[in-house]
């Protein structure tokens, strides 16, 4: 038998959606399993850390890591897999940009822990017991992996060869990434396995986009019944299509939902959130200061909206904390 | 960037920079920066000797980029760009590090000033490394000009512009020229007879070989850009031959139709074939299709039969014309505030209440009463009240002061006194606005001569006029808060001067915004009052804001001067080099930029589904580049890479300083 390429998959701070995007390959995954040897995939296979550590450096042909980096364990696994893999893919929005979990950077660890372990209404924790790096019980010492102050993307921790964007990525793109490797037709390093242009270029509604767009107030999807044929922005519904890389086959638009930006910005844009702000600002239908304020108020959570997927990798990276 | 060879030249600027910044330290620092091959200090770079040295140094070190650490780029960037060009370098490969205004002059501590100078200098070095040479392109221009509106401002502009090698198209909506001023009797401040002053000017326009007058004409569309505009106009059929008509009025006499005469502010009637008012120039009749019986499916031919010269032509149709010109002057004048919108003044309901323009016609020898100042019933008024600030200086209607009403109301007082020696003349005012060298002496003289009774009131918007036995009763609150009233035979109102009713449609055609009260917005209030945001389109006279005749004339001449200096026949015009550029491989066709460009410089390519920049129109403002959600548009000389390099250097220094 010929030497099969080795593939590994790993998850860091992730919701599991990216794992789904692999499972969603359905029958195609059999073809992958046929053509390649999956050496490590904690969600599906019983392989352990040591199995990876034992491999020679560069022994794995390609590794797909999904999820953001939040724990010491994420960093050490990312570094280990980087060392063992010839190619490393950031798989999904969290590995690519920090993702939704990156929104944690709007809060301190203390705020997050208090919220999650004490203040959520369904949690009963009267003694306010929080996870700690070390817990002693008698002579036993229990250790937890370290929690970082900030969420980071995979790119901010290790050298990444390619990125499969999306929250989660469409299975077709995952397949394309794997086939790129198996068929040895690799694009230039750093490429993102998607379009180079923003979503509007392939949007099925682009014909309805007027030359002059002015929005008197922004609408959230529950506030109106929107026309399923019309450009969302033309109806005042915030759509991130213009500031988001295409390649998703406009799946959300096809399902009559506006783009939320999960593919991240196109190559020339450094900060997707800042671009989103400037996009929406340019559409506001007023020159009057007071009226503009009212329009701005129709966006209740600008930070969350603009940086839904990209806060951790943005210029500011999160809430700015002034040094004392 | 191996070929990048940057020279840093630090200017002592006499004691200005030398005493405030450690320049030897700064030179050493500069030598350590990436790509810098030479960094030296000089006594005075902008001197003849300095410029000479600079040019030699550029050549000696085979420099490809230059950073000058000196004064503000506003002061000498232009100077050093010329030196660059002399030394054979593209002038856009220069960056100025302003270490005088932003450093030496504002920081007294030498160490800190030096630190900041280092930051500014490093930012400039890192920016200039990313500069790209830009080409300044030139286009051929049409020297001709379209002037819209033949009032005082438009005529002044046209006469100043019309010279050898330059034609002026003067487009006027009315059948005659001279605007509103031609219908006044006397002119402030010298009380000269208006037609005596104006007629020679109007004659000059009519007979000027280089002025093509288009009466009964309106602008329908505008295409193009500075240097190459196409202005499409529609010229309404006059139905009277311009060559043979002598304005004898034979046609008017026989016309059976009578309609309200707008040229006398509706105070009398005219015929369907008419001369707007006696003395109107050009002295030609016109048929008004809206009222002529022939256009009401009737068979009248009276005027044609009466005309001794065979000048009447019923077949003539409206014509669409395309005028080619390099520039446009908008001089469409003003309207008065519609006083029926302030019903408290009783205007339109109570007899013998007139607006200022109506009064101008009433006292005009060619007006509806042949200049007799009489009431509706023919009696001579014994008491006349003049009311200032009608609909102006109040948030209820218009906030601005029209600036000329106080002066012309004194003119009115003079005219009243001349015609009715014993009438009581009362003026109700809140504040007198009499600026300039003429108005105050003028008003003082007239107030004294006429015995004008001036009453200071609290709020002109709170004046109410009611009917008292058929006469207007004016009720007001005086300056001492007492409610008072006066009954008069006649009331004259001075309504706010506003932009014209059709200004907004004209503004849309030219893409020039209108400000409050319907005036066109100038490019810059203090320094560019006759320029507009659209290059090559100028605004003059009351279209820009309320003003007296002298100022309207000045603006017309100023706009003409701007055009004369910028559109020289046979000379090309340099285009902005720092324009925007679209990377069509990245453009997603989202169209966001299209609605934002103030200069209509972005075009959408329907086949490729991407945006493109019309370079002759682009002024390089950068709005599209900042907004482009794909980062597909870059602003030349202000690219993200260039600005990013500059900002990052500055931020790094700030961080360093905060830590130290």
Count of C-beta atoms within a 10 Å radius of residue B361: 25
- Per residue of chain A (324 residues), give pLDDT as tens: 457 999 999 999 999 999 999 988 888 888 888 889 999 999 989 989 999 999 999 999 999 999 999 999 999 999 999 999 999 999 999 999 999 999 999 999 999 999 999 999 999 999 999 998 899 989 999 999 999 999 999 999 999 999 999 999 999 999 999 999 999 999 999 999 999 999 999 999 999 998 888 999 999 989 999 999 999 999 999 999 999 999 999 999 999 999 999 999 999 999 999 999 999 999 999 888 999 999 999 999 999 999 999 999 999 999 987 766
* SS3 assignment for chain A: CCCCCEEEEEECECCCHHHHHHHCCCCHHHHHHHHCEEEECCCCCCCCHHHHHCCCCCCEEEEEEECEEEEHHHHHHHHHHHHHEEEEEEECHHHHHCCHHHHHHHCCHHHHHHHHHHHCCCCCCCCCCCCCCEEEECCEEEECCCEEEEEECHHHCCCCCEEECCCCCCHHHHHHHHHHHHCCCCCCCCCECCCCCEHHHHCCCHHHCCCCCCECCCECHHHCCCCCCCCCHHHCECCCHHHCECCCCCHHHHCCCCCCCCCCCCCCCCCHHHHHHHHHHHHECCCCHHHHHHHHHCCCCHHHHHCCCCCCCCCCCCCCCCCC
Do residue B275 and residue B206 come from a single domain?
A: yes
List the CATH number of the domain containing B362. Answer: 3.50.50.60
Domain boundary among B95, B114, B134: B134
Is B586's Cβ below 8 Å from some Cβ in A? Answer: yes
Do residue B342 and residue B422 come from a single domain?
A: yes
Do residue B323 and residue B352 come from a single domain?
A: no
With respect to residue B385, please indicate whether it lies within any of the assigned structural domains. Answer: yes
List the CATH number of the domain containing B17. Answer: 3.40.50
Torsion of CA B356, B361, B363, B365, to 10 degrees: 160
Do residue B410 and residue B557 come from a single domain?
A: no
Do residue B416 and residue B295 come from a single domain?
A: no
With respect to residue B659, please indicate whether it lies within any of the assigned structural domains. Answer: no
Is A103's Cβ below 8 Å from some Cβ in B? Answer: no
Do residue B408 and residue B262 come from a single domain?
A: no
With respect to residue B64, please indicate whether it lies within any of the assigned structural domains. Answer: yes
ipTM rounded to 2 decimals: 0.91
Q: pLDDT (tens digit, 9 = 90+) per residue, B208-253?
A: 999 999 999 999 999 888 999 999 999 999 999 999 999 999 999 9
With respect to residue B652, please indicate whether it lies within any of the assigned structural domains. Answer: no
With respect to residue B642, please indicate whether it lies within any of the assigned structural domains. Answer: no
List the CATH number of the domain containing B602. Answer: 3.30.70.20
With respect to residue B586, please indicate whether it lies within any of the assigned structural domains. Answer: yes
CB contact under 8 A, A265 and B631: yes
Domain boundary among B80, B114, B134: B134
Do residue B341 and residue B325 come from a single domain?
A: no
- Model pLDDT, residue B1: 45
CB contact under 8 A, B626 and A270: no
Is A242's Cβ below 8 Å from some Cβ in B? Answer: yes
Interface size between A and B, measured as CB pairs under 8 A = 77
Is A288's Cβ below 8 Å from some Cβ in B? Answer: no
Total number of domains in chain B? 4
The residue range of the domain holding B72 is: 6-134
With respect to residue B655, please indicate whether it lies within any of the assigned structural domains. Answer: no
Do residue B315 and residue B212 come from a single domain?
A: yes
Do residue B482 and residue B470 come from a single domain?
A: yes
The chain-wide mean pLDDT, for chain B, equals 95
Do residue B519 and residue B408 come from a single domain?
A: no
Q: pLDDT (tens digit, 9 = 90+) per residue, A169-214?
A: 999 999 999 999 999 999 999 999 999 999 999 999 999 998 888 9
With respect to residue B650, please indicate whether it lies within any of the assigned structural domains. Answer: no
Identify the structural domains of chain A with CATH numbers, from first to last.
6-100+149-182 (3.40.50.700), 108-148 (no CATH), 199-306 (no CATH)
B660 confidence band (pLDDT: 50, 70, 90):
low
The beta-carbon neighbor of A212 closest among B590, B595, B631 is: B595
Do residue B111 and residue B259 come from a single domain?
A: no
CB contact under 8 A, A197 and B640: no
Domain boundary among B134, B157, B184: B134
The beta-carbon neighbor of B585 closest among A196, A243, A246 is: A196
Do residue B47 and residue B151 come from a single domain?
A: no
């Amino acid at each position: 038998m010929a030497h099969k390429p080795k593939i590994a998959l790993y998850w860091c701070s992730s919701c599991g959606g990216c794992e789904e995007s692999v499972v969603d390959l359905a029958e195609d995954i059999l073809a992958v399993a046929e053509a390649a040897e999956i050496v490590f995939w904690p969600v599906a296979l019983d392989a352990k850390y040591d199995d990876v550590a034992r491999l020679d450096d560069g022994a794995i042909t390609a590794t797909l890591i999904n999820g953001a980096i939040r724990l010491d364990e994420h960093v050490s696994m990312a570094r280990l897999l980087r060392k063992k893999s010839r190619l490393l893919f950031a798989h999904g929005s969290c590995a690519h940009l920090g993702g939704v979990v990156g929104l944690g950077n709007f809060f301190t660890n203390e705020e997050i822990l208090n919220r999650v372990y004490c203040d959520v209404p369904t949690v009963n924790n009267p003694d306010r017991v929080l996870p700690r790096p070390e817990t002693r019980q008698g002579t036993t010492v229990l250790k937890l992996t370290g929690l970082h102050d900030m969420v980071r993307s995979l790119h901010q921790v290790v050298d990444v060869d390619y990125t499969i964007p999306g929250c989660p990525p469409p299975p077709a793109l995952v397949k394309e990434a794997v086939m790129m490797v198996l068929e040895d037709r690799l694009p230039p390093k750093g490429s993102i396995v998607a379009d180079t242009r923003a979503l509007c270029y392939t949007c099925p509604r682009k014909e309805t986009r007027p030359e002059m767009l002015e929005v008197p107030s922004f609408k959230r999807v529950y506030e109106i019944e929107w026309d399923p044929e019309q450009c969302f922005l033309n109806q005042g519904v915030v759509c991130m299509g213009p500031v988001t890389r295409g390649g998703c086959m406009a799946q959300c638009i096809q399902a009559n939902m506006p783009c939320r930006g999960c593919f991240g910005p196109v190559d020339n844009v450094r900060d997707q959130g800042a671009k989103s702000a400037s996009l929406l600002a340019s559409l506001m239908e007023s020159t009057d200061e007071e009226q503009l304020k009212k329009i701005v108020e129709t966006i209740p959570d600008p930070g969350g909206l603009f940086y839904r997927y990209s806060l951790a990798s943005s210029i500011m990276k999160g809430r700015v904390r002034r040094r004392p | 960037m191996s070929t990048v060879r940057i020279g840093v030249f630090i200017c002592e600027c006499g004691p200005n920079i030398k005493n405030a910044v450690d320049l030897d330290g700064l030179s050493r620092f500069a030598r350590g920066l990436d790509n810098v091959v030479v960094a030296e200090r000089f006594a005075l770079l902008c001197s003849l000797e300095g410029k000479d040295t600079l040019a030699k140094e550029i050549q000696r070190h085979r420099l490809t980029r230059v950073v000058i650490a000196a004064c503000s780029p506003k002061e000498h960037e232009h100077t050093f760009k010329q030196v660059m060009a002399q030394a054979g370098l593209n002038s856009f490969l220069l960056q100025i590090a302003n270490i005088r205004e932003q450093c030496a002059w504002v920081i007294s501590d030498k160490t800190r000033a030096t630190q900041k100078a280092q930051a500014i200098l490093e930012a400039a070095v890192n920016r200039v490394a990313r500069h790209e040479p830009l080409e300044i392109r030139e286009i051929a221009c049409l020297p001709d000009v379209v002037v819209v509106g033949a009032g005082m401002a438009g005529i002044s502009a046209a006469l100043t512009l019309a010279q050898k090698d330059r034609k002026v198209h003067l487009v006027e909506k009315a059948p005659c020229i001279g605007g509103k001023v031609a219908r006044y009797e006397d002119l402030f401040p010298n009380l000269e007879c208006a037609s005596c002053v104006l007629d020679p000017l109007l004659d000059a326009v009519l007979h000027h070989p280089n002025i093509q007058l288009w009466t009964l004409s309106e602008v329908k569309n505008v295409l193009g850009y500075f240097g190459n505009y196409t202005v499409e106009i529609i010229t309404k059929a006059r139905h009277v031959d311009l060559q043979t008509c002598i304005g004898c009025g034979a046609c008017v006499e026989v016309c059976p139709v009578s309609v309200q005469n707008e040229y006398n502010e509706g105070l009398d009637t005219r015929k369907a074939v008419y001369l707007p008012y006696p003395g109107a120039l050009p002295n030609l009749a016109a048929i008004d299709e809206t009222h002529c019986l022939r256009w009401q499916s009737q068979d009248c031919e009276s005027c044609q039969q009466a005309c001794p010269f065979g000048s009447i032509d019923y077949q003539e149709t409206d014509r669409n014309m395309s005028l080619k010109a390099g520039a446009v002057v908008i001089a469409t004048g003003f309207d008065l505030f519609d006083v029926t919108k302030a019903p408290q003044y009783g205007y339109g309901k109570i007899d013998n209440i007139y607006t200022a323009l109506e009064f101008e016609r009433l006292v005009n020898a060619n007006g509806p009463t042949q200049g007799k100042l009489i009431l509706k019933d023919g009696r001579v008024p014994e008491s006349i009240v003049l009311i200032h600030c009608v609909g102006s200086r109040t948030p209820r209607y218009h906030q601005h002061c029209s600036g000329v009403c106080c002066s012309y109301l004194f003119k009115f007082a003079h005219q009243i006194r001349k015609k009715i020696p014993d009438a009581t003349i009362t003026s109700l005012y809140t504040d007198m606005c009499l600026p300039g060298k003429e108005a105050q002496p003028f008003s003082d003289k007239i107030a004294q001569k006429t015995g004008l009774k001036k009453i200071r009131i609290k709020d002109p918007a709170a004046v109410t006029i009611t009917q008292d036995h058929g006469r207007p009763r004016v009720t007001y609150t005086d300056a001492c808060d007492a409610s008072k009233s006066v009954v008069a035979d006649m009331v004259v109102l001075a309504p706010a001067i506003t932009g014209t009713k059709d200004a907004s449609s004209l503004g849309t055609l030219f893409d020039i915004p209108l400000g409050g009260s319907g005036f066109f917005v100038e490019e810059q209030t203090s320094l560019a009052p006759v320029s507009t945001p659209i290059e090559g389109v100028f605004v003059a006279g009351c279209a820009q804001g309320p003003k007296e005749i002298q100022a309207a004339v000045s603006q017309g001449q100023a706009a003409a001067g701007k055009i004369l200096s910028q559109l020289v026949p046979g000379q090309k015009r340099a285009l902005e080099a720092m324009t925007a550029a679209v990377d069509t491989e990245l453009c997603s066709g989202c169209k966001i930029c299209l609605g934002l460009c103030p200069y209509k410089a972005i075009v959408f390519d329907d086949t490729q589904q991407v945006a493109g920049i019309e370079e002759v129109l682009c002024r390089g403002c950068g709005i599209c580049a900042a907004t482009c959600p794909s980062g597909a548009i870059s602003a030349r000389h202000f690219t993200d890479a260039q600005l990013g390099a500059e900002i990052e250097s500055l931020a790094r220094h700030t961080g360093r300083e905060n830590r130290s």
